[in-house]
Amino acid sequence: MLLGISSMNWAQDKEVSKDIAAIVFLDSFVVTASQQGFVVEDFIDIIQQDESFFQAFHNLRLQPHQAHTSFQFFDRKKRQRASCQNKMHQQVVERCRTMNIQAEQVEGDFFKSATHRTHNYYTASMHESVFFTEGQICEKRDTPNISDEKLSGIQKHINELKKLVFQPGREVQVPLIGGKTAIFKKDMLPYYQFYIHQDTTTYAEPCYTFTVAAKPNYRSSKTIIKYLKTWFDKENFQVMGRDYHLQYSGVVGFDVKMKVAIQQEGEWYLPKTIEYEGTWKIPLQKRETGNFIVDIIPKAH
């Protein structure tokens, strides 16, 4: 059993794995591999229980690095309203991290208050809450813990959105949409198509890819995760990359696409690039459309 997974959830996931294995589309290489011992059902078990992607982001807290980030935000006519390019440096001493901004260039209304770093855009605020450290923070855990029952208010909301990014396919506690994110539950399976392929060109390591795509007739109302593709290293099943398309129209509306690539630095796996483009509509706030790219450089000095 993997860390953080109850025996009840494990049993439920095993049953769903059988259901998915019965309908998944395989390319010719995977068909051949199955004949030689590759078990599709076991692979789907790994996918459902995977924590290596979240672990890679957690590892950033323990490793010195630089992060180069570029933001752009647009109005309804797709004219740029604001932008920000910055370079951040994180130092780590005895499991305690501090971060400073080495350079920053801002245009437009990116900040409400640059002095207090009060953001004018929800996306930028979310990004900073995940990746930027104020003061010194000492990390006690080697493994991540995304569930924190002590959180409340906006921090609890942000934590649930992290689950949607780091553990896609799990149900999140966000009103009206939580159950629709649980794509591996039996009642959600009819809305999706599943594929397992081999990919030897995208990453240096040969990978298996697992793709979940909403069926065309269910893309509007029944599903939130429209597309999810994950690359797994064939040797150790470490997640090497993930592409998302998330969309929902309701009290909270969003249409978001993300691409994340993972890199290996010694024994550590860390995010390499994060690409985001999307639009959000949050109650009592104007619609927000923007994009950002983050490049992470390990062991920066």
Which of the 8 DSSP states describes residue 200? S
- Give the pLDDT of residue 82: 97
Band of pLDDT at residue 2, cut at 50, 70 and 90: very low
pLDDT of 16 higher than 80: no
DSSP state for residue 224 in the 8-state scheme? S
**Looking at residue 218, what is its pLDDT?**
65
Confidence check: pLDDT of 143 > 80: no
pLDDT at residue 9, rounded to an integer = 47
- The pLDDT of residue 269 is 95
> Can you give the pLDDT at residue 36?
76
pLDDT score of 37: 78
The per-residue pLDDT for 148 is 56
More confident residue, 152 or 45: 45
Element (H, E) at 161: helix 153-166
Contact 296, 278 (CB under 8 A): no
Question: Which residues lie across from 101 on neighbouring strands?
Answer: 88
**Of the ranges 44-48, 164-168, 265-269, 283-287, which one carries the lowest mean pLDDT score?**
164-168
pLDDT digits (tens, 9 = 90+) for 49-102: 888 888 999 899 999 999 999 999 999 999 999 999 999 999 999 889 999 999
CA 25, CA 28: separation in Å to the nearest integer? 10
Degrees to nearest 5, angle at CA 158 with 85 and 298: 45
- By percentage, how much of the chain surpasses pLDDT 70? 85
pLDDT score for 176: 63
| pLDDT confidence of residue 270 | 96
Task: With residue 43 as reference, give the H or E element that holds it.
Answer: helix 40-49
User: What is the structure's pLDDT at 146?
Assistant: 56
Q: Which residue pairs from 268-273 have beta carbons closer than 8 angstroms and sit at least 24 positions apart in sequence?
A: 268/59, 268/62, 268/63, 268/298, 269/52, 269/55, 269/56, 269/59, 269/238, 270/56, 270/59, 270/60, 270/63, 270/65, 270/296, 270/298, 271/56, 271/57, 271/60, 271/296, 272/296
Going by C-beta distance under 8 Å and a sequence separation of 6 or more, which residues neighbour residue 218?
A: 191, 192
Q: What is the pLDDT of the chain when averaged over all its residues?
A: 84
Q: What is the pLDDT of residues 286-295, one digit of tens each?
A: 889 999 999 9
Q: What percent of the chain has pLDDT over 90?
A: 45
Residue 39 in contact with residue 71, Cβ under 8 Å?
no
pTM of the model: 0.86
pLDDT in tens, 200-251: 999 999 999 999 999 987 666 788 899 999 999 999 999 999 999 998 887 7
